Amino acid sequence: MRPSKRDELVQKAEKIFYRDGFHATGMDRLVAETGISKTTMFKHFHSKDELILATLRRKDETFRNRMHKHLAEAGGEPREQLLAVFDVLTDWFAQADFCGCMFIKAASEYPVHDDPIAVQAREHKRLVLLDLQQLARAAGAGDAAGLARQLMLLIEGAIVAKHMGYSEAPDADAKAAAEVLIMAA
């Protein structure tokens, strides 16, 4: 199996879905923008929804991998790592193609609770929250799960605030708030 074409499709589709939305992006436009024929697309994925699922899986992988690498570079102190999460945000927000969280968008566009796309989006958030919880536990927080949930609120809030553009540097605000919450925990 040489999956290069398939991977190329998933990678390009991910960017387009992320930028333009899921329902607003038709298969014909994917053909035009990726240069990959529609026949090939439907040979690799039996439906648009399956392709979307693949892009979400890829996004989850690359996102969490990047986060883990960034945290590893932040040094061994667990408390430093907890704060470094917000530097990941700063990095992300500085990217030219930033336009919010793909999983929040997916959950918005696929409101049916059992829809595989909605399930996949939730799963990503669950995994990120789990990562935070492990960090909080390592940092010796009394209520690690609670602290993780609170920091998660700040992260989600910063993503939304940045996306909607009503706040200049929500990552800095979030980090400042996080410092207070970590101290209090």
Is the CB of 49 or the CB of 115 nearer to DNA?
Answer: 49
Q: Which does 81 bind (CB under 5 to 8 A by kind): a second copy, DNA, none?
A: none
Answer for the pair 178, 83: CB distance below 8 angstroms, yes or no: yes
**Shortest distance (Å) from residue 124 CB to DNA:** 22
Instruction: Decide: residue 122, CB within 10 A, 0-12 exposed, 13-18 middle, 19+ buried.
Output: middle
State the binding partner of 82 from DNA, a second copy, none, CB within 5 to 8 A by kind: none
Give me the least distance between CB of 21 and DNA, in Å please.
Answer: 10
Q: 8-37: which residues touch DNA (CB under 7 A)?
A: 23, 25-29, 35-37
How far does the chain reach from its first CA to its final CA, in angstroms? Answer: 50
Dist CA 46 CA 25 (whole Å): 17
Q: Do 122 and 129 touch, CB atoms closer than 8 A? A: no
Q: Binding residues for a second copy, per CB under 8 A?
A: 19-21, 23-24, 99-100, 103-105, 107-109, 111, 113, 121-122, 125-126, 129, 146, 149-150, 152-158, 160-161, 163-167, 170, 173-174, 176-177, 180-181, 184
DSSP 8-state class, residue 142: T
Q: Tell the smallest beta-carbon distance from residue 155 to a second copy (Å).
A: 7
Residues that bind DNA (CB under 7 A): 1-2, 4-6, 23, 25-29, 35-40, 42-44, 46-49
